[in-house]
Amino acid sequence: MSEDDNDKGSTVFDSLITVVPRHVAIIMDGNNRWAKREGVPGPSGHRAGVEAVRDILSACKRHGVEVLTLFAFSSENWGRPLPEVRALLALLSRYLRNEVRELHKDDVRLRFIGQRDRFSPRLQKLMRQSEHLTRNNRGATMVIAVDYGGRWDVAQAARKLATQVQQGTLQPEDISPESIDANVALSDLPQPDLCIRTGGDARISNFMLWHFAYTELYFCNTLWPDFNELEFARALADYSRRERRFGLREPDGLVAWGELDA
């Protein structure tokens, strides 16, 4: 599809976007399959994926999405072949060195969630510097999940609460969904309204398990490097058609079972 066709298609879907999610999370899947399809080395697929990040961040700003969270490197990804792990981490370092100042100019705040202690001191420093530089930006927030797992997130929240109980500042009976919610990653940001997974698989792969309680899920076959503004607009249009009830529904005149004996 040409760039002109992509723009025309995006405009068509733009007209169908009546409700814009505040927070979109994306599981970026398909880089390796894209590289295999194109007959290029695996790292080339990950580099192509970075280009897609630029396009989607631009689309988020254009549509008014406040927060974009990207699943860049899961806790389980350490088990991939060592050359691939090294290539992914090198790509992340390069991205931070080359892109953060542009993000800052665009008023984008950059944040990271996940464990950091397994990364090199140099990469950890780049992450800290990136967060510090962009900390006061308000145009949009981009969150990069690295060495992150949903189960780890819930476990670290439980550890924080257990420490408070041990210190006597919290009673066990006071532990609630709200207190857990306050201690998981991104507790200060809106919950994800929409999670997009590219690449054809229909699962969330241990990503933001606590946060996705009422998140709308959107799965598409497009490989991540091919996921562009048109594909993103299509996902937002699909989201606009959904009715989010959060476990509730409007009264419809039906008689409840308990009322039959009244």
Do residues 105 and 139 make contact, with C-beta atoms less than 8 angstroms apart? no
Residue 77 designated active-site:
yes
Q: For residue 20, what are the CA distances in angstroms to 134, 232, 233, 255? A: 24, 12, 10, 35
Do residues 95 and 125 make contact, with C-beta atoms less than 8 angstroms apart? no
* Set 6, 55, 77, 238: catalytic member: 77
End-to-end, the C-alpha distance of the chain in Å comes to 64
Q: Quick one: 216 exposed, middle or buried, by C-beta within 10 A (0-12, 13-18, 19+)?
A: middle
Residue 32 designated active-site:
no
* Set 29, 147, 153, 193: catalytic member: 29
Q: Which amino acid is at 173?
A: E
Which of 216, 206, 228, 65 minimizes the C-alpha distance to 145? Answer: 206
CB within 8 A of 206, min separation 6: which ones?
Answer: 74, 75, 76, 149, 150, 151
Active site residues: 29, 77
